Amino acid sequence: MAYNVLIVDDSHIVRRVLIKALGLAEVPVGAFIEACNGAEALGVLRSKPVDIVFLDINMPVLNGMDFIREVRADTDLKDTPIVIYSTDGSDSRREELERAKIQGYLRKPASPERLVEIFSSILGEVAK
Ligand SMILES: [Mg+2]
């Protein structure tokens, strides 16, 4: 099984780095889909099958927290696995994210080992 991965970040460089890191982690990816803010990401979720979302918090137009609220309030999208990928690791932010029922939290930059761990915990056994 290969998984479609949606990467949401306003930084083109961060999106490139994450795609490269996921490649190195040898997780089974079907397609990488990119979005540069939460609004664009919602459009993707409503039009394409996505298995997991890597999500930045600080973005223009629609930020990560507001994106999560929209997804969790949408009956078709609410169960989409979301992993935060952010530099913001403050305790208050973590508590806020735990309440928002996200599946994982990664601090930038993430090692390939952490990426494999996150994939395995969310999507099950990762093929080697
Ligand atoms: Mg950002």
CA–CA distance, 104 with 121 (Å, rounded to integer):
9
- Cα of 56 vs centre of ligand 1, distance in Å, is 6
Where do the domains of the chain lie, and which CATH numbers do they carry? Answer: 7-11+18-108 (3.40.50.2300)
Predicted local distance difference test score (pLDDT) of residue 125: 58
Model-level pTM greater than 0.85? yes
Predicted confidence (pLDDT) per residue in 46-63, tens digit? 999 999 999 999 999 999
Helix (H, G, I), strand (E, B) or coil at 95: helix
- Cα of 80 vs centre of ligand 1, distance in Å, is 21
Predicted local distance difference test score (pLDDT) of residue 62: 96
Predicted confidence (pLDDT) per residue in 88-114, tens digit? 767 777 777 777 778 888 888 888 888
- Cα of 31 vs centre of ligand 1, distance in Å, is 22
- Cα of 66 vs centre of ligand 1, distance in Å, is 14
**Mean model confidence pLDDT for the chain:** 89
Sheet holding 52-55, edge to edge: 29-35, 3-8, 52-55, 82-86, 104-107
